[in-house]
Amino acid sequence: MYPLGGSHFKTLRGQINQIWDNPRFGLLGLLVAIDFDDELDTTGLRCPEPLMMVRNRIRSLASGRVLKVVATDPSTTWDFPKFCTFMSHEMVHMDTETTPYQYWIRKG
């Protein structure tokens, strides 16, 4: 058993703080699973295919529904947020720290 003030506790507290402060995990990743209504896998596809597939799939969803997109094309990291802004959709969350990239888009 380690005392609360010991070096093991400080190490554990430091590790928890690193995870908590990491935007990839943080509060969202630790406490909330992002719910989605449909999923689209665009891995291996290159611009403009992922964006066009997202556009077509999101058109089939009802307003307020969430589409999860998995992609490997680096251009999606700027294409998808701009698409959401232009088309009045909401980028609920995006995980672009590692590939495959993941996006959750709520239809506006």
Identify the active-site residue in 12, 16, 19, 47: 47
CB 67 within 8 Å of CB 53 = no
Q: Is 84 labeled as catalytic in the residue annotation?
A: no
CB atoms within 10 A of CB 106: 19
What is the DSSP pairing of strand 38-41 with strand 66-71? parallel
Q: Which residues are catalytic?
A: 47
